[in-house]
Structure 1
């Protein structure tokens, strides 16, 4: 991964970015220092050779000029080359110029003592930034320059020894450089993985906070639904009992007293349920009874208000998810409450059907009905039931029309 790509992949992590930039600067400076030292080592023997200063001025100037070109291209040119690796001609231009410069230096210094031959080593090492085949081409070309240009002026035994020595030095340089490059790449990879881990931990912390917030919101909604379902149910029944007591107070005081006693009892039960819901510690109404038994109690309470309420259970009750049973119970509770409050109905039919793969609940009244657009408008209870059903991957359907009654159907998977 290139320096630019590594930095772009971690734009929000200044620590990792700083480490990558620091490593890049250190590596670049180290390469430049090695290049300059090698160039000085190659030039110094010439400066102490009397034959060198016996050369024409243009010859000396040409050697020094090419030597400077070698250093400038090997440092600044290499940095520019690394920044444009995506440019297909970049390696050809850089190494072509270095090899041409090297050929000129070898040709101009072939008749004097010197160590210009060692300058092929940095070029070969730099070629490792590309494929092994590219490195092989560059290295072979450099060794060919030595054999064709530099060594012909030497005795063949000495030329072979020098060629083998330079070849061994090149192999060592390539191996050492490859190890150094792999170590640098490994260090960069470790830093990248550390940055990825840091970002993953940061995202995980964000997700955990979001999950906690969502759980809190869901719990608030659950408590709100519990309060509405319980309070709405109890207050509706209490209101019906009080209205009944007021109606028969003069004609049948004993029956009116019974209605008021029931209203008082229901008020106490409702207050207890609300307190338990607020504290979020309320036990499920199905804690010690089956769903059928709990719904039967709701039906009995509805009948006490004078409303004809019929319950039909089909199929064999199976062990269901507690959340499924609680949702069905709350749906019956909300349906009975809405009928008593709004429907002006005289009859309610409740159907609970157990099937192998699903449970179906139907609540139907013969009341006033409502328009399609008003099915759930203003009804927090129905919205709450719909939310419960959606959380269980179920379906809730409403069929109604003015003066045609109201039917609520809920289908939940087992």
Structure 2
């Protein structure tokens, strides 16, 4: 059987890296020949297919920041690889992967699918920077490419802000394998048995400062409230600001900050928590919240792209608008004090996960998209 060759281009870090690895581990390698072009300073673990066999990969100079010389070198190198491998389709992931993928796709007349995993213009803290990033996305949208959105919110951004027409915007939700085993912690447990939790590096995107404000308000009504915050050791530009707020509000005994730890430990901590929370300003479709659903957790989250696609108001959690810390703390307190409601939300989270975000149940959708897009080319 002749396989369809797909080349993936990305800066393989964080959720973008997780997304591709899950795709490769679940897509049928008898039908699709997957090749990966990724940053040479990315995660150096091998990319494995559904038979746990490493796929061919090319490390090149893909980086997160805009660096004209390195970016030009990455485009030139990727172009050589594309010419040599002659794939039927390019699937570009992340902002930088999207730029490179769209350019080399145009140069070689190869169709491109781009999964932004949260558009870069959402990360801009200034209006000027946002306009530059958005302008670049609009310019590149004129070429032979389509958006393969990771969430409905991302799909709507592509339609309403970037300007793609509906025929050029597809959807494949980020999704994961069911979490069936929860191993014991490999680290020492230093927090109380009753706690709430979150995964999020202190950064503009994750808005951990708001989370600390929420914790301060919760402490006024529930002095023993405790938050376990995971992932603070990975690219955390706002860590000192967060620590300063914790000290200012006298919350040192109410929060545990954990650096990035084993994925299995994160599952254990989420599973044994009372509630999962997120205060993010934007997401693609966040894996940590998907994992919370898979682990049957009630959630309280900000009304951000990604979050609102996973949490259905008053069904499996609460969605808080306008960064309202008082509403956040009120919703968390309600679920901590109402066991029946929390348990109902937990059941609903697991149902939603299995229907929409279990990759075993959804990978056929991606395979169908790949097949359709490559058949159009031929």
Q: TM-score under structure 2 normalisation?
A: 0.24
CA radius of gyration, larger in: 1
Q: TM-score under structure 1 normalisation?
A: 0.22
